[in-house]
């Protein structure tokens, strides 16, 4: 304790010197905050002010659907009004108008989350956390990196990974019930948006995927979401831009991702890092917009790393974490008093969030070690001379014995003492509706995004022209058989290899699926069927255009039925390729590994396809079984050659003719059965189905699955330390 006291005294003196008029120029206008609920009133703080407690009155109405959280304004002695401070940020247009939402509150008690191997010295990522979130308020979970912010947020939302275990109690409206679909929303730190859609189109398709009901009802919901997130000026702009047009800035993109969850009109909204990748202006606008959203009655809980002074003043409550330990929970202004009571007052020239993180972020110890013997203009690094481990222990001990911790426990008891109204599910769109929506949306995206299929169409056409001109003028003599076999092999193999151009587009499709599936907006079967149906028109266009060019340039038999089989065979090859790419995109997340694996697989299948060495002559292990049987090149080339040569004949000399089967037998192994080409086509179709079944399994059981922790919670007392 003597060490803690000495360190605290040292830091108190350094903070005072940092903010004293002697060492620095005082500026009463620099540091200002806003109390929750009073956006227009600037407040300035002294170096170590004396705040009085804020009384909070929570009334649960019997038979009602909401909780009234009344906050008694703090005494004017908390702060001094500063008429010279910067003006308050204006609310977005239409901020005064909003659809009221029936409130829901959550409370958690002794919440502990363990993830095996996550921490070096302990598996406890969150340790015995207590807190609550009320309707119409913004509760922020703050802390340095790896402090357990996102884990706590996911635990509250029931989004923990299957490897995590949660202990403790979580109450929703006073009951230990799960939050039904549609009653809450969760916004990931990084969300995947569809750049080729406008904001209104993106939200409308999201509403169609999420909500049951009629189209006109969903349009109203979309307009409400656009208005709530102040996106009216961007509603008809493409999210990702087009050609030389720029897409939406990061701030607007982030608001679009939040608006996607608002189409459900959730009562509780969880947001992981709403200020991620935003500059100071965009961050302030985001927080003012969320403050407006909270004023409609929605309960907001989100994580944040650090914020500016203005943004900090918009928070209602703060949960401060460090290495999983709760260092404070309560009103944002009371947090400053808590640090002052612990011996770490906030300097007047420093942002509160910066000050908090400076005191509890152990990474600053490395800076202290680097700057140990350095000196600044005042003779020492006065702001980095404290051991953060000591500060963390001091703050934790001070909080546990403070009136703030007791007030939190009292509030949790009041919130859980009586059960409130249970949250109701808002229903889901049917799978048939979702398939239709995904198909139509994918068709629209593919038609607008030239990288999806239009570029591939051009490349396939150019490749067909190149191969056709190289092998043109072969004639129909017996000597042309071997060369024509080579032409067919090159066409099938090279066009299959060219499917690598579709990797980025399909990777994006899988990312969009992961984002939507994590919020239960889609499913593996719905996604695969919608993607397949939307890709068929474009792949058929590629197959028929490329086949026509190649077919006539190399002089294949001029019969319509044979041409149609050629087109159908090549179309099946493209579908098999599409399924193979989806398998790779589901296995890997890095485009380098996807392309490397895909090209390697194509090379192995080309080697075992029976052209370089007849299939019967291939070595038995590996090359014949299983490679030659799983290589779709084999069945495609066999079918095309059987389509061309079965039923034809070649003259040998003047009196003898041989069949096309006999002429081809020494160059490539085919069947003499006239129906063999249809069997090969059937095998290709089965491969199309098989690859998509594999993708379904990978998406269903490997990609982004979270365990549901809402079926029951184990108490912390059952956990052995």
Q: Which helix (H) or strand (E) holds 543?
A: helix 524-553
CB atoms within 10 A of CB 429: 20
Better-scored residue on pLDDT, 228 or 389: 228
Other C-beta atoms lying within 10 Å of the C-beta of residue 268: 25
pLDDT exceeds cutoff 80 at 571: yes
Sheet arrangement for strand 106-115 = 124-133, 106-115, 164-172
Whether the ω angle into residue 626 lies within 30 degrees of 0, i.e. cis, is yes
Rounded mean pLDDT of 507-525? 89
CATH of domain 102-183+267-277+299-376+384-426: 3.40.50.300
User: Strand pairing partners for 242?
Assistant: 245
Q: With bands split at pLDDT 50, 70 and 90, how would you rate the model's confidence at 14?
A: very low
| Whole-number Å distance between alpha carbons of 706 and 158 | 8
Domain with CATH 3.40.50.300 in the chain: 102-183+267-277+299-376+384-426
The answer to whether 37 and 313 have CB atoms below 8 angstroms apart is: no
pLDDT at residue 452, rounded to an integer: 79
**DSSP symbol at 716:** G
So what's the pLDDT on residue 243?
A: 54
- Bridge partners (DSSP) of residue 303 are 141
CA angle 68, 74, 80 (to 5 degrees): 145
Write out the DSSP string of 456-520. Answer: HHHHHHHHHHHHHHHT----SSTTHHHHHHHHHHHHHHHHHHGGGGGHHHHHHHHHHHHHHHHTT
pTM metric for this prediction: 0.80
Strand, coil or helix: 124: strand
Mean of pLDDT values over 284-306 = 92
pLDDT tens readout for residues 152-166 = 999 999 888 888 889
| C-alpha to C-alpha distance for 109 and 130, rounded to whole angstroms | 5
Q: How far is CA 447 from CA 197, 388, 451, 516, 541, in A?
A: 11, 56, 10, 22, 12
Alpha-helical (H) ranges within 82-177 are 149-157
Choice between 162 and 365, residue whose per-residue pLDDT is larger:
162
Model confidence over 679-707: pLDDT tens digits?
Answer: 999 999 999 999 999 999 999 876 544 33
State the average pLDDT over residues 485-499: 95
Does an H or E element contain 600, and which? helix 591-607
The SS3 of residue 661 is helix
Q: How far is CA 128 from CA 118, 151, 233, 483, 536, in A?
A: 17, 13, 45, 75, 54
What is the rounded CA–CA span in Å between residue 172 and residue 454? 50
| pLDDT tens track for 633-653 | 999 999 999 999 988 888 887
Selected residue with higher pLDDT from 34 and 494: 494
């Amino acid at each position: 304790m003597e060490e803690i006291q000495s360190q605290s005294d040292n830091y108190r003196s350094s903070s005072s010197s940092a903010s004293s008029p002697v060492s620095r120029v005082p500026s009463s206008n620099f540091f200002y905050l806003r109390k929750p609920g009073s956006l227009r009133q600037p407040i300035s703080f002294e170096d170590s002010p004396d705040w009085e407690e804020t009384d909070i009155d929570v009334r649960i109405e019997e038979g009602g659907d909401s909780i009234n959280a009344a906050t008694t304004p703090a005494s004017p002695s908390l702060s001094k009004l500063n008429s010279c401070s910067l003006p308050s940020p204006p609310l977005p247009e239409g901020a005064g108008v909003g659809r009221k939402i029936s409130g829901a509150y959550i409370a958690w008690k002794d919440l502990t989350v363990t993830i095996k191997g996550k921490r070096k010295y302990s598996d406890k990522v969150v340790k015995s956390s207590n807190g609550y979130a009320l309707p119409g308020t913004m509760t922020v979970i703050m802390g340095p990196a790896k402090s357990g912010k996102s884990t706590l947020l996911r635990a509250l939302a029931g989004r923990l990974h299957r490897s995590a275990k949660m202990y403790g109690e979580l109450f929703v409206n006073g009951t230990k019930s799960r939050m039904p679909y549609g009653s809450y929303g969760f916004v990931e730190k990084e969300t995947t948006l569809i750049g080729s859609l406008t904001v209104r189109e993106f939200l409308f398709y999201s509403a169609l995927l999420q909500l049951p009901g009629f189209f006109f009802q969903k349009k109203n919901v979309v307009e409400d979401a656009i208005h709530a997130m102040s996106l009216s000026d961007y509603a008809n702009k493409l999210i990702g831009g087009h050609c030389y047009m720029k897409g939406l800035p990061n701030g607007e993109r982030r608001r679009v991702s939040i608006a996607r969850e608002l189409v459900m009109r959730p009562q509780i909204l969880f947001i992981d890092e709403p200020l991620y990748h935003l500059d100071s202006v965009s961050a302030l606008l985001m927080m003012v917009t969320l403050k407006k959203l909270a004023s409609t009655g929605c309960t907001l809980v989100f994580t944040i790393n650090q914020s500016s002074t203005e943004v900090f003043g918009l928070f209602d409550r703060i949960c401060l974490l460090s290495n999983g330990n709760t260092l404070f929970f309560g009103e944002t202004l009371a947090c400053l008093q808590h640090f002052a009571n612990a011996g770490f007052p906030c300097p007047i020239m420093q942002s509160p969030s910066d000050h908090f993180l400076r005191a509890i972020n152990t990474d600053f110890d490395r800076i202290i070690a680097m700057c140990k013997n350095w000196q600044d203009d005042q003779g020492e690094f006065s702001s980095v001379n404290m051991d953060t481990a000591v500060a963390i222990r001091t703050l934790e001990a001070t909080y546990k014995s403070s009136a703030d911790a007791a007030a939190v426990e009292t509030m949790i008891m009041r919130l859980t003492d009586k059960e409130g109204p249970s949250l109701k599910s808002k229903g889901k769109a049917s799978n048939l509706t979702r398939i239709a929506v995904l198909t139509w949306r994918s068709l629209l995206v593919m038609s607008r995004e030239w990288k999806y299929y239009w570029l591939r169409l051009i490349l396939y056409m150019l490749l067909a022209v190149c191969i056709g001109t190289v092998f043109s003028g072969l004639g129909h003599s017996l000597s042309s058989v071997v060369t024509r076999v080579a032409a067919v092999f090159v066409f099938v193999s090279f066009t299959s290899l060219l499917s690598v151009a579709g990797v980025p587009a399909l990777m994006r499709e899988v990312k969009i699926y992961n984002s939507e599936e994590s919020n239960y907006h889609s499913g593996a079967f719905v996604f695969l069927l919608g993607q397949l149906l939307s890709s068929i028109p474009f792949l058929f266009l590629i197959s028929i255009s490329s086949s026509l060019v190649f077919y006539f340039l190399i002089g294949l038999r001029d019969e319509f039925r044979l041409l149609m089989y050629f087109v159908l065979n090549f179309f099946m090859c493209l579908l098999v390729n599409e399924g193979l790419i989806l398998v790779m995109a589901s296995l890997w997340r890095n485009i380098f590994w996807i392309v490397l694996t895909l090209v390697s697989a194509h090379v192995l299948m080309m080697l075992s396809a029976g052209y370089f060495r007849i299939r019967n002559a291939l070595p038995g292990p590996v090359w014949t079984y299983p490679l030659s049987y799983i290589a779709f090149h084999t069945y495609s080339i066999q079918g095309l050659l059987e389509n061309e040569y079965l039923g034809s004949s070649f003259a040998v000399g003047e009196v003898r003719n041989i069949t096309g089967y006999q002429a081809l037998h020494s160059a490539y192994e085919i069947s003499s059965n006239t129906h063999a080409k249809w069997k090969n086509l059937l095998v290709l179709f089965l491969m199309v189905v098989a690859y998509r079944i594999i993708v379904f399994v990978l998406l269903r059981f490997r990609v982004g699955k979270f365990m549901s922790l809402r079926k029951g919670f184990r108490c912390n007392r059952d956990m052995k330390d």
